[in-house]
Homo-oligomer: A and B are copies of this chain.
Amino acid sequence: MTKEELFKNIQEKKSFLCVGLDPDIQKIPKFLLELEDPLFEFCKRIIDATKDYCVSYKPNTAFFEAYGSKGWESLKKTIAYVPKNCFTIADAKRGDIGNTSSLYARAFFDEMGADSVTVAPYMGEDSVKPFLQHPGKWVIVLALTSNQGALDFQTQVLKDSDEHLFEKVLRKTSEWGTPENLMYVVGATRAQMLEKVRSIVPHNFLLIPGVGAQGGSMQDVFKYGANAHCGLLVNASRSIIYASTGNDFAEKARDEAKKMQAEMEVLLKQKSLI
């Protein structure tokens, strides 16, 4: 999917919502556990219920890997089930030396068929670049994450440049790709940092976790993070997929996604993007 196509989907659906697929066997309704592939069956129903209100799905690979090769198969089926007009993100947070990153890229782009994969920047250029060699595919680099631990290293100030580590990551990695194949993870819980982020990467899409269960504000994210092509994918996982843990989980997920979409529609209109 190109950046232009992604923006077109955002305009058509009046939404920049990404639904995070974290299927947890402890939380999904009991009746699904009797089916052959409970992880996939859960995700399938969530996708059916929410696809009109979101433009992206982000399966977190850990939730599938915990079930070994069977979980890996469920992940592949889940990605294949996502409608073509939704952008798929394999949230894998990979990163290794060059020849190894090439294989991860192959695993997620070719074997899994995902549009994009999340990548950890710690190992530097040769760990990120191999993911950028796949035409039509995207890399989403962790910059400033939404968790408490983000403050341990990402916000350390560097001596030479007097900038935070995450700013260095943005500046450096943006030399390796373009706004057509490179996005960044920036947590909604640090919305006040979004102005800084935008001054470094004005044109790249940002994947924003942390709205919803983690408490970030959609208004702030949009105010400081939106650009002329929207430039945002706001992710919600638990607040949508576990809105109910009963048999009405899909219906409640739909309600929750619809609510977020409505909020997004107002913001997109305010900025004359639709």
Contact = CB atoms under 8 A, between A and B. Distances in A.
Nearest to A72: B69
Nearest to A110: B66
Interface residues of A, number: 58
Interface of A: 22, 60, 62-63, 65-70, 72-73, 76, 91, 93-98, 100-101, 103-104, 106-107, 111-112, 120-128, 142, 145-154, 156-160, 162, 165, 168-169, 172
Contact of A95 (B120, B126, B156, B172): B120
Contacts of A123: 93, 120, 142, 145, 147, 149-150, 154
Nearest to A162: B159
A149 B126 contact: yes
Contacts of A172: 152-153
Given A62-B96, A62-B101, A125-B148, 7 more contacts: A60-B100, A68-B72, A68-B112, A72-B72, A124-B148, A124-B151, A159-B159
A75 to B, nearest CB: 9
Contacts of A158: 156-159
Given A95-B93, A158-B157, A159-B162, A103 B65 contact: yes
A222 to B, nearest CB: 23
A147 B100 CA distance: 12
24 contacts: A22-B100, A62-B94, A66-B107, A68-B73, A69-B69, A69-B73, A72-B72, A91-B96, A93-B94, A95-B120, A98-B147, A121-B153, A122-B142, A122-B154, A123-B154, A124-B149, A124-B150, A124-B153, A126-B147, A128-B149, A152-B172, A153-B169, A153-B172, A157-B158
A168 B153 contact: yes
A10 B150 CA distance: 37
A156 B147 contact: no
Contacts of A62: 94, 96, 100-101, 103-104, 107
